[in-house]
Each structure stands twice: as structure tokens, then as C-alpha cells.
Chain A
Amino acid sequence: MADAARSALDSFEIITTSGILLWSKKYASVNPNIVNSFISDVLIEERMQPGSDGKWYKKDSYTLKWTSSNDFGLIFIAVYQSLLQLTWIDELLDTVKKLFTTLYGEQLKKPHTSTIECHFDGYFENRMRDLEKKAGGPRPIASDVDGRSTTPTTDKGQWDAPPPPPPMPSIMKSHPKPTTPAPVGSLAKPVTPEIARPISPAPGSASHLLSVNKRPVRGSRGRRGHASATYPSSGEEVSPARNEKGKKSGKNTKKMRRWDADGNAEEEGPDTVLDYSAPNANSTDEEAERGRDGTRKVDYIDQKEWGSKTSKGEFVLKDLDMEVSAILKEPDRKDTNESGSGGGLGAFSFFRNFVGGKVLTKADLEKPLAAMLDQLLRKNVAREAALQVCDSVGKSLIGQKTGSFQSIEVPVRAALEAALRKILTPTNSLDLLREIQTKRSGRRPYVISIVGVNGVGKSTNLSKICFFLLQNKYKVLVAACDTFRSGAVEQLRVHVRNLKELTEREGGVVELYEKGYGKDAANIAKDAVAHGETEGYDVVLIDTAGRRHNDQRLMSSLEKFAKFANPDKILMVGEALVGTDSVLQARNFNAAFGSDRSLDGFIISKCDTVGDMIGTLISMVFATGIPVLFLGVGQNYQDLRTLNISWAVKLLMS
């Protein structure tokens, strides 16, 4: 089974958001570029692959699944061959995330550090085997697969039942460290994640077990304290006791007894030992309580039998198992605790709203995010885009801590600002002049074509770009490929005549290439490019007919057009006035050019008419990931601007 796992998963990586590979397990060599392109495509540019719904990422016959932990800035990535259908990857990711953050959370919180001490291999292997077994085996415990919450119960079952369950021996055999002698001497080791290993090996005899009774208690308490200290939420003021109290008020009386027992461990010596043996597997859950009351005796005997039956090395293994399940249990407890914090810790969290240092939960974020959503909608961002932006902002904030004397709105605002900035920032440079210089190879002119819905200002913006190019002393040919609407060619002719007059003095050369109405636009475009090549033009600007983005008949001709004219840049004009429709416009036009061609940029026209409601920018860029090249800000030829991202973000947030 373990071998099967090895071949199933190709690699598992734990990386920080700052790019450091903290831990990885490689079963086969995987090119790091796969993970890198995943990070830049999905995590930075937020481009979901079609159909993936943000759940997986496929690249070069590999499939990646991931989960992230915002509070620690960690990303957990599993890479496997796309051919395989692995159902347990999600659970593996979740459990590994819990394990890793619990074990090493403390170290990760330290500032200015890049590396952490981690010996995670054992824990990971352990989880892998478990999940593999569940997925592939005859499923002795079917309920286990459903959820993490039930896992510890099974573990307890394995631990308490006198005859070890069937899978146990194989686990022991395949464990990497079965031969390690139990380090009895190092009992007083400081509290580390591996503390359970030196402590709980029951070294053969019951008397020995009794003699070390105090230490295990301390150890287990210490470890629990350690774990709770790593809760990002709790900080220091939430002691384990309060933790438990806050969670289950129903068990209050028992809790108190438990603490008494801890307090006077001497008088209840044997109890505490037994107590330790059970709760270590299932730290402080209900089963432990029951175990302490009723099945205490049985536990004790079990422990003894185990000790005498098995070798020390196997105890080491058992502890790892136990520890893993204990840790997996604890974050659950934390979750319930956090959600239920309205009760016992309500006053405190209220206090934190003002003082800061509050860990953000989904509930906390709901209100400020709703406000942000309103804000975006007011700025004319399409609802779909606004919802998704707010969603991703919310996801990125859950688990983070507010700063001192900071309300929740502050980080939400900052995160939204960063998200908007990220959306608008282009991945590549948009210097059109430089691009024309470098891209022009041989005699073929640089071809720019302009598409868009009817009446958004295609011809106007084309002539604005033409004016800009003419000022830079380029020889421009304007091709009138709108063979559909009456007056379209004449309109361009007027533009060209005007531009000629305007730039004659500066040495600009511009001509119109027209073939009248009714002909096929793609052919005219092709001829225009050929004409431009023979006549030595630098740039060919192609105007196209406006078309409704949901008219399949008209849109389908664009693919042929892209193939015939083969433009270096296809720009889409969208007007700033459009609202919800902008997302679909951008998407449909982006998809219309066939599978291997997409839009290269947007021109957002009529920006001067909307004031600060420039949400269309966000909607269009968000829907496609294609940058805004120019903004149309007026009626004159020179009223073309590039996007200033700070300006846009400022307007959107105001």
C-alpha cells in the first residue's frame, strides 16, 4: 500500500508565500517550473483554468492541488500525474496543513527567519499511509473517509482495543524508525513536537510506568499548552482551561475535576497516568472524559499489555500515530472554540475589536466585506466581478490578526486595495512604441486591429491611436473593414483627412485602405496588410464592424479575421458606461478569436463621462486578465491616456 502511495503522489511541497521551500517530499522528480507556473497563474494572476473551479491546476500531464494557510503564509501543494484519480488528496492536504501548522506554527511566527527546524517526514508518511489505506483498502471504517472529525475516534479504537487492528502490523513494519530504542533517558527533554516519543513509551513494566507518572502529566500538559499557544487566535490570554470551558459548557464539572487532578497529581498518581494514556490519543475530547470515569481500569491494563507485548521501537511508532491524531483533533477544537467564542470570550473579542490583535474569522469579515461590496457596486463594478473580488479578499484575510488599535475595516480596506491594484497591474509592459520597434521584423507592418460592441467608439479610438503614432513619425495605413454599417467608411475617411492635415507639418503619413461595403472583412484586412507591406507602411490599423458579443453568427467571423489579418495586437474597446454586461463582453470577445489567440488589451472609452465610477475597468480586466492599454478621456485626438493604477485604485476606494 505504501508503495502504491509512493507512485501515486509525485511530490508534496510546503512553501511560504515568500517563496521558500520549507519542506518537500519527492517520489518522482518534478520540474520546479510546474509549481512556479502554478503560483504565478493561479495565486498571483488568479486565472482559474476552465472547469477547475479553483480546485486544481493542470500542467504538462501533472495535476496540482493545493491548500493555503493564511495566518502562517503557507501553501501546501500536492503534485500527481493527471492520469490518476486520487480522491484522498484533499484530505491529505487538509490534515497535513493542520499537522504542520500545529507542530511548527511557533517557529513560523518568528520574524526575519527563513528556515525552520522540521522533521516532518514521519508525520507525513503516517498520514499518507492512513489515507491510502482508507482509499484503497477494504475500508474497515467507512465513516472515516467522510471527515476528519471522526478520525480520532478510530484512532482511539485502535489504541484502546486489546487486540491491535489488522492494519497495525503493516504500519509498524513500514515505519522508518522501528529500530530506534525508546529514549527513556531523555524524559526531561524540553517541550518539542516530538515530546510524546520520549515520554509515552511504556518501558516494559508497570512499575516503571508508575515511577515516571509525574513527567508524562507535565509533558502532556505542556504539550497541550504548547499546542494551544500556537493557536493564532488565542494569544496568551486564553489558557487551555478557558479554552475547554468556552467550548463545552456542558462538561464544565468534569473539566473542573480534571484540573483538580492536574493540580494534585500526587494523590491521584495512578489516575493521572491512566489519564495520560488515553487522552494523549484523543487529547481532551469526550471520549477521554468517559475513559477516565468508566474505563480507566481497562486502559491501564491495556497499557501494560501493550508494554509487555511489544518492543520499544514499536512504541515509538505508536506515539507518532497518537500524536498525529491528537494534533489533528486539536485544530478542530480550535475551530469550534473560535466560532463559539461569542459566549465565554464574547466580552474579550468585543474588546479586541477596538484594541486590535483580533484574529479575523469569517463572521467578523462579513460586515466590512459587505460594505466593500457596496462600495465596488457603487463604482459600477459588475456584480459578478465585485463578488469574486470580495470573496478572494475575504479568503485571504481569514486567520490574520489585526494590528494594535486597529479596527477590522483597516485590514479589509488594505487588502481590497491590494487586490484591485493586483488586478489592474499588467504582467508585461505596455509600451506600444517600444513594442512596434522591436516586433517589426522585415517589411511586414505592425498590425493593430480594434474590435468591440456597437457604438463604443472603435473608430474614434482608432483615430486617436493613429494620431499618437503619427506624432511619432510612423507611416500608418488605416484599413476600413467595417463593410456593414452605412457611413462607416466615410467616417474613417474624414478622420484620415483630419489627421493628415493635423500632422502634415510634423511629417506623418497616413492613408485609408478601403474596398467599399458588403465584402468580407477578413479578406480586406488581409489585402490591407499586404498592401501595407508593399508600400512600406510601419503600422496598419484595422477598424472592424461593431458586433453584439452574444451574437454567435457575428462573433464567429472574428476567428477567421484573426487568422487572415494576423494582427500583432487585438484591442477591444469597451465603454466605461457599461455595467454588468462588461464581464460578458470581455469574456466573449476574448474567446472569439479561437483557442490560440486572445485579446491583447482593452481601450476603455468615455472615461470622462463617468467621473469616479470607473468600475468597468475592474470588471473587464478581472474577467479576462487582460490589461487596460488606453483610456479615452475626451473628444479630441489627443484625449488618449494610459492607465495610472494608483489613480484608478484611489478613485475606486474613495
Chain B
Amino acid sequence: MDSTLPSPNPTPLMSAPMPLYDSMLASIFAPPPAVLIATLLATFLVPIFIHFIVFRPRSAIDLPTFLLVGPAASGKTSLMISFESETGQPPAETRTSQTPLSLECSVPASIASASKYRSVNDPSLKAHQRFLLSDTPGHGKLRHIAHSSVSSPAIRGVIFVLDSSLTDVREVAEYLYDVLLALQYSATSSTTTQSKKLLVACNKSDVFTALPPSKIQKLLEDEITQMRVSRSKGILDVEDDGEGNDEKEWLGEGGEGPFTFQSMEEVGVEIEFKGGSVENGEWRDRLSPWIGSCF
């Protein structure tokens, strides 16, 4: 009996940890339904939460962007909206912009410059070439928005919109000068040989006082000629050490003669003038070929 007694004793001793272990195991492998549900919920919901926190809707790919710049009240926002709508008709009215806005627009792929090598039966010609048209505020205090994006590599072309009546040549020319300078700088500093493209859209051609684009071009060239001189003689800005940035400041090729938009091609900026009117819904047709040539 004595010999048999100890034998059960070790078993309790041995199995003393066993119930604990067992119960632990049991509780792990057979959790109460509440825990099970909570765990399952957490497993499925946490990734979803994180997804919604991290994920922001954005356009799938970086579309080529065209930038609309120009003085206030020249019709940039209207032009952009007229491009978005299929009919080319602008909305009734717009107001002074304070923030930039990009709209997704499209032109038929058949007018894109690369398409001339395609067969006429190529189905891809029927597709639409999509791009972003980006409007910027024209108010003097907010032009830095446009300036900061003019030279970004995503910009395929810049459309400078102006009022064909040209009531204030100086203001228009000044803004155009700044835009051209930024384009010239980015064209000369970039490693690619691709030239920057600028289209001067002389809007509001339907108004009685509107000038023809050729006349506007002449006036702007005269104004920029004078401005170029006065700027080169002006006071340096406070950060300037006065050396080594002549190229950055002087618009066009080095010569002292009158400024022409033609001469900008030598520094890698192609400029084109076009007239039209948002009111008459003309810009869609007139701008599409130019936009196509920029792709």
C-alpha cells in the first residue's frame, strides 16, 4: 500500500502545473465568443481604418498640365471652364479667383503631334488625350502661385491670357515679362533641349475696343524693350550680391536692340499669339491644335 501510495502522489505533483497549462491552452484555443468576435472585428477593421486614414483620392497618374496665367479679369477661369464643357460654352459668370484650380480636360488624340506618324486606321486616334488645365489667380498679391509653378517640369505649356482691349499695357507686360523670365530660366538651366511653349491668348476679341493679336504683340514688344532696360538699371534686390546673375535677369538674347518674341526662341521659349473670345466659345477650337502640339 505504501508503495502504491506515493505513486499517485507524484502525479498530482506533476500535474499541478498541468491544469494551469491546460486551462491556458484551453482558453487560448477556445476563446469566449466575445473575444473571438472582437478579434475578428479588429483583424478586419484595422486595415480598413488604416486604409481610410492613409489613402487620399488623387488622380491616378500625373497628367500633362497646362498652366493658365495672366492678369486679373482677363478670363482665365472662364476659359478653363469653357474647355472642360463639351460645348465650349463658358458658365454665365465667374469671380476673382483666390486659389488655383485644375480641371481635367481632353482633346482628340488625332491632333497630338506624335499622331501624325500613326496610320489613319489606328484606333488610338479615336481616343482622347487627357490633360489638366490649371487656373491661377491673377491678382497681384497671388501671382507667386503661378510663378512657383511656371517652371515646374510637369508643365507642358503656359497659356498667358490677356484682355484684348489692353487698357493697361504696363501691367500686362510686367506679368508677361516675369513669366517669360521664369520660362527662360528653366529652359536654359534644364538639361533637355525641349523648348518651353507659351501661347498668348488674346481673349475678349468680341469687345468693340479689342485690338488684333498682331497689334497686341507689337505693343507688348515695345513695352518689354523699355522694361528690360529699366529693370537692368534698377536697384538690386536685397539678396542679390550683384554678380553672376545677368543671365537670370536679362530677357532674351544678349543684344541691346528691341525685344521681339521671335528672339525668345533662341533661349528655348516658343511663343505664339492667338486671338479669340470666351464669350463666343472659340477657344476650344483654337487652342486644341496648340495643346496637341505640346504633347
Inter-chain CA distance A645–B142, complex, in Å, is 13
B72 at the A/B interface (Cβ < 8 Å)? yes
Q: Using Cβ atoms and an 8 Å threshold, which residues of chain B touch A21?
A: 91-95
Spot the interface stretch: A38-46, A216-224, A387-395: A38-46
Q: With A431-B230, A641-B238, A643-B238 as given contacts, are A15 and B95 in contact (CB-CB < 8 Å)?
A: yes
Bound CA span A73–B77, Å: 16
Complex contact A236–B235 (CB within 8 A):
no
Given A17-B98, A20-B101, A404-B54, answer yes or no on A425-B230 (Cβ-Cβ < 8 Å): no
Segment of B2-10, B55-63, B253-261 in the binding face:
B55-63
The reply to whether B92 and A422 contact each other, CB–CB distance below 8 Å, is no
Question: Which residues on the A side are within 8 Å of B174 (C-beta)?
Answer: 429, 431
Residue in B54, B84, B96, B238 whose beta carbon sits within 8 Å of that of A19 in the complex: B96
Is B226's CB under 8 angstroms from A39's CB?
A: no
Contact (Cβ within 8 A) A32 B234: no
A640 at the interface (CB under 8 A from B): yes
Give every chain A residue within 8 A of B238 (Cβ-Cβ).
607, 631, 633, 641-644, 647-648
- CB distance B99 to A404 under 8 Å? no
Q: Which of B133-141, B154-162, B195-203, B283-291 contacts A (4 or more CB under 8 A)?
A: B133-141
For the residues of A in contact with B, the DSSP-based class is mixed
Specify which of A20, A73, A630 lies most central, judged by the most chain B CB atoms within 10 Å of its CB: A20
Shortest CB–CB separation between residue B10 and chain A, in angstroms? 51
Instruction: Enumerate A24-67 residues with CB–CB distance to B below 8 Å.
Output: 24, 32, 35-36, 39-40, 43-45
Tell me whether A32 and B95 are in contact in the complex, defined as CB-CB below 8 angstroms, given that A236-B52, A352-B53, A438-B170 are known contacts: yes
- Residue B144 at the A interface, CB < 8 A? yes
Give, as a whole number of angstroms, the nearest-CB distance from A62 to chain B: 15
Cα-based distance from A434 to B240 in the complex (angstroms): 21
Among A36, A352, A471, A631, chain B packs the most CB atoms within 10 A around the CB of: A36
Instruction: Return the contact of A112 from the options B92, B103, B230 (Cβ within 8 A).
Output: B103
Knowing A426-B140, A472-B233, A644-B239 are in contact, say whether A36-B73 is a contact too (CB < 8 A). Answer: yes
Q: Does A161 contact B (CB under 8 A)?
A: no
Digit string of B44-68 for contact with A (CB within 8 Å is 1, else 0)?
A: 0000010011101111000000000
**Residues in A whose Cβ lies below 8 Å from that of B237:** 641-644, 647
Most chain B CB atoms below 10 A, which of A39, A426, A432: A39
Distance (Å) between the CB of B50 and the closest chain A CB?
A: 8
Interface residues in A422-473 by Cβ distance below 8 A to B read 422, 425-429, 431-434, 437-438, 468, 471-472
Q: A18-B100, A111-B59, A422-B141 are contacts. A642–B95 as well, Cβ < 8 Å? A: no
Q: Is the CB of B139 within 8 A of A40?
A: yes
User: Of A19, A114, A352, which contacts B95 at CB under 8 A?
Assistant: A19
Q: Could you tell me the distance between the alpha carbons of A32 and B92 in the complex, rounded to whole angstroms?
A: 11
* B interface, over-half SS: mixed
Is B91 a contact partner of A425 (Cβ separation < 8 A)? no
A19-B97 in contact given A236-B52, A404-B56, A642-B238 (Cβ < 8 Å): yes
A71 to chain B, nearest CB (A): 13
Residues of B within 8 A of A19 (CB): 77, 94-98, 101, 135, 137
Residues in A neighbouring B140, C-beta threshold 8 A: 425-428
Tell me, yes or no, whether B104 is within 8 Å of chain A by CB: yes
A434 and B227 contacting across the interface, CB-CB below 8 Å: yes
Q: How far is the CA of A429 from the CA of B135 in the complex (A)?
A: 22
**1/0 contact string of A497-526 vs chain B (CB within 8 Å):** 000000000000000000000000000000
Decide yes or no whether B80 CB sits under 8 A from chain A. yes
Q: Are A355 and B53 in contact (CB under 8 A)?
A: yes
B96 touches A40 (CB 8 A): yes
Say how far B118's CB is from chain A's closest CB, in angstroms: 28
Q: CB within 8 A of A642: which of B53, B81, B137, B234?
A: B234
> Is A437's CB under 8 angstroms from B230's CB?
yes
B residues near A438, Cβ cutoff 8 Å: 170
Measured in the bound complex, the distance between the Cα atoms of B103 and A13 in whole Å is 22
Most B CB contacts (10 A, CB to CB) among A19, A357, A630 go to A19
Q: Does B274 have its Cβ within 8 Å of any Cβ on chain A?
A: no
Note all chain B residues with C-beta closer than 8 A to A39. Answer: 95-96, 98
Q: How far is the CB of B84 from chain A (nearest CB, A)?
A: 6
CB distance from A364 to the nearest CB of B (A): 16
Q: In the assembled complex, which residues on chain B have CB atoms less than 8 Å from the CB atom of A357?
A: 53-54, 56
User: Min CB distance, B123 to chain A, in Å?
Assistant: 26
Give Cα A112 to B100, complex, Å. Answer: 11
A20–B170 contact, CB under 8 A? no
List chain B residues, Cβ under 8 A from A112. 59, 102-104, 132
Distance (whole angstroms) from the CB of A231 to the closest CB of chain B: 13
Question: In the complex, which of the residues A235, A425, A437 contacts B141, with contact meaning CB atoms closer than 8 Å?
Answer: A425
B142 to A422, Cβ gap below 8 A? yes
B:113-134 near A, CB below 8 Å: 132
Q: Is A115 in the interface zone, CB < 8 Å from B?
A: yes
Whether the pair A44, B141 counts as a contact (CB closer than 8 A) is yes
Give the Cβ gap from A419 to chain B, nearest Cβ, in Å. 11
User: How long is the Cα–Cα vector from A36 to B75 in the complex, in angstroms?
Assistant: 13
CB <8 Å contact, A18 and B135: yes
Given contacts A21-B94, A114-B103, contact A237 B233 (CB under 8 A): no
**What A residues does B38 contact at CB under 8 A?**
none
A595 adjacent to chain B (CB < 8 Å): no
A35, A434, A468: the one contacting B235 at CB < 8 Å is A468
Interface centre among B95, B101, B171 (most CB of A within 10 A): B95
Contacts of A429 in B (CB 8 A): 170-171, 174
Is A421 an interface position by the 8 A CB rule?
Answer: yes
Question: What is the CB-to-nearest-CB distance from A560 to chain B, in angstroms, rounded to a whole number?
Answer: 31
Question: Are the CB atoms of B239 and A647 closer together than 8 Å?
Answer: yes
A32 to B100, CA, bound (A): 20
Cross-chain contact A18 with B104 (CB below 8 angstroms): no
- For the complex, give the distance between the alpha carbons of A453 and B190 in Å: 49
Given contacts A404-B54, A641-B237, contact A427 B141 (CB under 8 A): yes
A654 in the interface, Cβ–Cβ < 8 Å? no
Residue contact A640 to B235, C-beta cutoff 8 Å: yes
Contact B233 A471 (CB under 8 A): yes
Chain A hits for B97, CB < 8 A: 17-19
Q: Which residues on the B side are within 8 Å of A17 (C-beta)?
A: 97-99
The answer to whether B57 touches A437 (Cβ under 8 A) is no
Shortest C-beta distance, A405 to chain B (Å), equals 8
Tell me how far the C-beta of A376 lies from the nearest C-beta in chain B, rounded to whole angstroms: 19
- Interface flags, A287-322, vs B, CB<8A=1, else 0: 000000000000000000000000000000000000
Contact with B along A343-369 (1 / 0, CB 8 A): 000000000100111000000000000
Residue of A425, A433, A472, A630 with highest tally of chain B CB at under 10 A: A433
Task: Tell whether A44 pairs with B98 under 8 Å between CB atoms, given A19-B77, A115-B91, A425-B140.
Answer: yes
> In this assembly, does A113 line the interface, its C-beta being within 8 Å of a C-beta of chain B?
yes
Cα–Cα, bound, A428→B72 (Å): 12
Q: A73 to nearest B CB, angstroms?
A: 6
CB within 8 Å for A44 and B81 given contacts A641-B236, A643-B238: no
Shortest Cβ distance from residue B34 to the other chain A in the assembled complex, whole angstroms: 16
- Shortest Cβ gap from A220 to chain B (Å): 25
Knowing A40-B96, A427-B141, A434-B230, say if A114 contacts B101 (CB, 8 Å): yes
Chain B contacts of A236 at CB under 8 A?
52
Collect the chain B residues with CB atoms within 8 Å of residue A468's CB.
235
Chain A residues with Cβ below 8 Å from B96 are: 19, 35-36, 39-40, 44
Q: How far is the CB of A223 from chain B (nearest CB, A)?
A: 21
The yes or no answer to B248 lying at the interface (CB within 8 A) is no
Q: Which residues of A contact B103 (CB under 8 A)?
A: 112-114
Which residues from 547 to 563 on chain A have a C-beta closer than 8 Å to any C-beta of chain B? none
Chain B, Cβ-Cβ closest to A633: B238
6 extra interface residue pairs, beta carbon distance < 8 Å, beyond A236-B52, A428-B140, A433-B230: A40-B139, A44-B141, A111-B58, A355-B54, A641-B236, A642-B234
Enumerate 8 A-B pairs (CB-CB under 8 Å) in ascending A order.
A19-B101, A20-B95, A39-B95, A44-B141, A237-B53, A404-B56, A421-B144, A425-B144
Task: Give the 9 A-B CB pairs with smallest separation, nearest first.
Answer: A19-B97, A18-B101, A641-B238, A427-B140, A433-B230, A644-B237, A39-B96, A17-B99, A647-B239
